[in-house]
Amino acid sequence: MQVTRLLAVRHGETAWNRDTRIQGHTDIDLNDHGRWQAGRLAEALRDEPIAAIYSSDLKRARDTAQAVAETRTLPVHAHIGLRERGFGRFEGHTWDELELRYPTETLAWRKRMPDFAPPGGETLLELRERVVGAALELAARHPGEQILLVAHGGVLDVLYRAATRLELQAPRSWQLANCAINRLLWSPEGLALVGWGDVGHLQVSDDQGVLDERSA
């Protein structure tokens, strides 16, 4: 049975990451540190065999993927299924602002209620269906090969849970760091976890630290 190896990476840092603002579908650019992280990621993956590069269609993920693509003759294929969770009217706000303005909705979010959607946004159930469907679709195209998926904290959280068979409401104990390298396997039986949260390539001169994704 042939498997597909997946390199799953969260985009580089943005100004809104640094400010702890919820991004969702808002199309935010990488900041200078995020571009540095993307360059370090590209160097870390330079000798990895990669058959195809897929990315969320949002700029912060596409630009991160493009940094890797520039080290080899591969295009970046945008896939809307790899987008971050839609957070509706929560987008652009910090956690503190949300707790003041929408305390009931924010509590439902913190409790990870699977059927809760921020007004105008997605539920965790909808996110899981979209993300897992996209990952399985893309992996099935490349049996016996390795592919790169560049996405977002919420997407990576769903992939971790799918690979470890954890429920959506289970507390998160794993990191979702910008430009960390995460490794999974796909087979017709589903996803399996190989390695998670490798940030060794970001430690050389990264004096700003590596941010975890708080909104996932």
DSSP string covering 22-89: --TTS-PPB-HHHHHHHHHHHHHTTTS--SEEEE-SSHHHHHHHHHHHTTTT-PEEE-GGGSPPP-GG
Task: Note the pLDDT tens digit of each residue in 154-188.
Answer: 999 999 999 999 999 999 999 999 999 999 999 98
Task: Note the pLDDT tens digit of each residue in 26-35.
Answer: 999 999 999 9
Looking at the DSSP bridge assignments, the partners of residue 10 are 151
What residues are annotated to the active site?
11, 84
Residues making up the annotated binding site are: 10-17, 60
pLDDT surpasses 70 at 208? no
The CATH classification number of 4-85+123-202 equals 3.40.50.1240
Task: Note the pLDDT tens digit of each residue in 71-130.
Answer: 998 999 999 999 999 999 999 999 899 999 999 999 999 999 999 999 999 999 999 999
**pTM of the shown model:** 0.94
Give the residue extent of every domain in the chain.
4-85+123-202
The mean-pLDDT minimum among 11-15, 107-111, 145-149 falls in: 107-111
Residue 65, both tokens: 């993927």
Residues making up the annotated binding site for substrate are: 10-17, 60
Any alpha helices (H) in 49-123, and if so which ranges? Answer: 59-69, 95-101, 103-110
